Amino acid sequence: MNSQKFHVVIDGCINATISRLHIIAPSTSPNTDGIDVGSSTNVLINNCTMETGDDCIAIKGGTSNITISEIACGPGHGISVGSLGQGGKRDEVEGISVSNCTFNRTQNGVRIKTWQGGSGFARNINFSYINFTEADNPVIIDQFYCPHQICTNKTSAVEVSNVTFTGLRGTSICTNSTVSLQCSDTVPCTNIVLADVDITSADPQNPTSAVCLNAYGIAQDTYNPTVDCLIDTK
């Protein structure tokens, strides 16, 4: 409760299990991530409740084979892969599964965030059976992550590929894009799949929408919003 920074950090670990935690911090408290995982492999996180001022869970570089399930997140900034590639760093993340999680009035939902100028990869990532309640920014891939809004354009990027979003349900208060896939000109996102997506607007006057930039993949049965902006590789 009320950690001054991250509540739990898993770093340099193999075969770790975290379950039945209840993490609490004010929604306005900066950098109070629930659980951060870095440089680790074969980690299971399940059946936890997280109310924080930042990411409920953040997956950092050097991490593989992470299974996250049955997480109740909110308030907070959602579950994130990243940020990756800050300061030109090479980061590698693969084999991430996030399933059967709920997001209640979170600032973001499921997110991949990378800085310009980095390198490496974020690949083989699956978000499935996610439920949102009045979440802002439910689905994000952002290869232009820049929280301070003063960043130099750079051509290198962490490569994002083989990412699946399936079985996404609920409501959103997002006034911009319910699904936002913003990828690099030089290192675009590839093999992105959205399937069985139905996220309605909590405000009937503000319809849901999707926006894509340099994102290659397919969308199937995306009812709300209609995701027709992916570049088909066929």
Among 76, 7, 16, 68, which residue's Cα sits nearest to residue 40?
16
How far is residue 126's CA from residue 192's CA, in Å, rounded to a whole number?
10
Which residue carries 């609490």 as its tokens? 24
Residues assigned a catalytic role: 77
Q: What DSSP assignment string belongs to 126-150?
A: EEEEEEEEEESS-EEEETT--TTS-
Is residue 179 within 8 Å of 225, Cβ to Cβ? yes
How far is residue 19's CA from residue 21's CA, in Å, rounded to a whole number?
6
